[in-house]
Amino acid sequence: MEEAQIREKLKDKKRVIIKIGSSSLMHSETGKLNLSKVEKLIRELVDLKNTGKDVALVSSGAIAVGRTALGMSEKPDSVCKMQACASIGQARLMMTYQKIFAEYNQITGQILMTKYTILNPAARENARNTFEELFSLGIIPVVNENDTVSTYEIHFGDNDSLSALVTSLTEGDLLILLSDIDGLYTDDPHVNKDAKLISFIPEVTDEFSDMAKESSSSNVGTGGMSAKLSAARIATMAGADMVIANGEDVSVISRIVAGENVGTLFAGRRDNLFNIEDYVARTMEGHLSAEDLKKIGHNNL
């Protein structure tokens, strides 16, 4: 199917997952939460839901909000400090989301996940059932990684991958990654003015993965383009289309769903052999012992 045809069909998607990164939520000058943008983001989400779609938000920002509350000007230099910041920041961030969602008469619920949630069959099924119940009740879930208890996510994880896992887990049919860049380029546009934006990727091949570089220059974000390509592999193999777009103006969400040619579109190519549990286990191989895997109920490595 051609790009124009796929873009046109985006307006018919029924379950949309939106991920926003820390750098898109914070003022670049101070690292503090950009309340005006958060309000606009929530208005976009509620308006999208009002069209009859299921909507979920995967939000970064807990560590950044926490460190600001503690007066830290730089990223924490230890896992313990990161987890402490996440503990403080997650509560503050969720309080902000709850308050602004309420102004639009929209109920939201919080879901904290780790990759262990996917690996453990009972936890995975419980998470899936929770999402389904929230959607059936008309609630917009706000999802984040549970950084306060999981060092794996802080060291090796990112909310790009988490949003793709949520998309797969909930059988979402569109994933939108809001970033500080317009999409996937032929090279890092921050250093190469001749880099070209790639509008459409029918399949995530090694050629495109080689283009992705860990180029996040933000002081608050963690996810580079390599993480977004990894997310694209998960989402598209699960059958969802995915778009990377610039989150500077969050109205880009409605433009994407309307079928406009913005960002980089990755076409969904459902792989019937794709198994979310085994995929996550392979990405964590080398970081988990056999005993760890046995404890969480995963024995398929």
Domain ranges (residues) in the chain:
3-276
Using CB atoms within 10 A of its CB, is residue 254 exposed (0-12), middle (13-18) or buried (19+)? middle
Q: What is the pLDDT of residue 259?
A: 96
Q: What is the pLDDT of residue 206?
A: 73
Q: Does domain 3-276 have CATH number 3.40.50.970?
A: no
Q: What is the pLDDT of residue 214?
A: 43
Q: What is the pLDDT of residue 28?
A: 85
For the whole prediction, is pTM greater than 0.85? yes
Q: What is the pLDDT of residue 80?
A: 86
Q: What is the pLDDT of residue 293?
A: 45
Distance CA 284, CA 103 (A): 41
Q: What is the pLDDT of residue 1?
A: 82
Distance CA 282, CA 118 (A): 12
**Would you give per-residue pLDDT tens digits along the chain (301 residues)?**
899 999 999 999 999 999 998 888 999 888 889 999 999 999 999 999 999 999 999 998 888 899 989 988 788 888 888 888 889 999 999 999 999 999 999 999 999 987 778 888 899 999 999 999 999 999 999 998 876 665 555 544 468 888 999 999 999 999 999 988 899 988 888 788 898 999 999 998 877 766 655 444 444 333 477 888 889 999 999 999 999 999 999 999 999 999 999 999 999 988 888 888 887 777 655 444 455 444 445 544 3
Q: What does the CA dihedral 228, 232, 235, 239 come to, rounded to 10 degrees?
A: 160
